[in-house]
Amino acid sequence: AQSVTQLDSQVPVFEEAPVELRCNYSSSVSVYLFWYVQYPNQGLQLLLKYLSGSTLVESINGFEAEFNKSQTSFHLRKPSVHISDTAEYFCAVHRNSGGYQKVTFGIGTKLQVIP
């Protein structure tokens, strides 16, 4: 079994300030870690993922996340947020199960960027 914990349901932050959205996971097997973003009334979009290799992964819009195996964490960070980053962010673990993907999502963190 696997689980994902997003510790903060809402995070307000001023524009141009840094932000960290926390994610911890637990799993008895190897998993892969993802962050998805959901803008209002839209579906989820992949933000970034960790499969293997370098533990620091980056997205094209300035977000980064670091896989920390010892702390079972995959926190999402951005050094300077923009109004357009206002959205809900979901951490997820993917694992292979019988040839297909089983995905477990966290409950989401709503990022509100304040002008």
Q: The tokens 């933000």 sit on which residue?
A: 47
Length of the chain: 115
* Gyration radius (Cα) of the chain, Å: 14
Which residue among 17, 51, 56, 114 contacts another protein (CB under 8 A)? 51
Between residues 11 and 44, which has the closer beta carbon with respect to another protein? Answer: 44
3-state SS, residue 52: coil
Q: Which of 46, 56, 83, 114 binds another protein (CB under 8 A)?
A: 46
Is residue 50 within the footprint of another protein (CB under 8 A)?
no
101 counts as binding another protein under rule CB under 8 A = yes
Sites for another protein among residues 60-89 (CB under 8 A): none
In angstroms, the CA 91 to CA 74 distance is: 8
Q: What value, to the nearest 5°, has the Cα angle with vertex 43 and ends 11 and 89? A: 20
User: Which residue ranges make up the site for another protein (CB under 8 A)?
Assistant: 4, 6, 9, 32, 34, 36, 41-46, 49, 51, 90, 94, 96-108
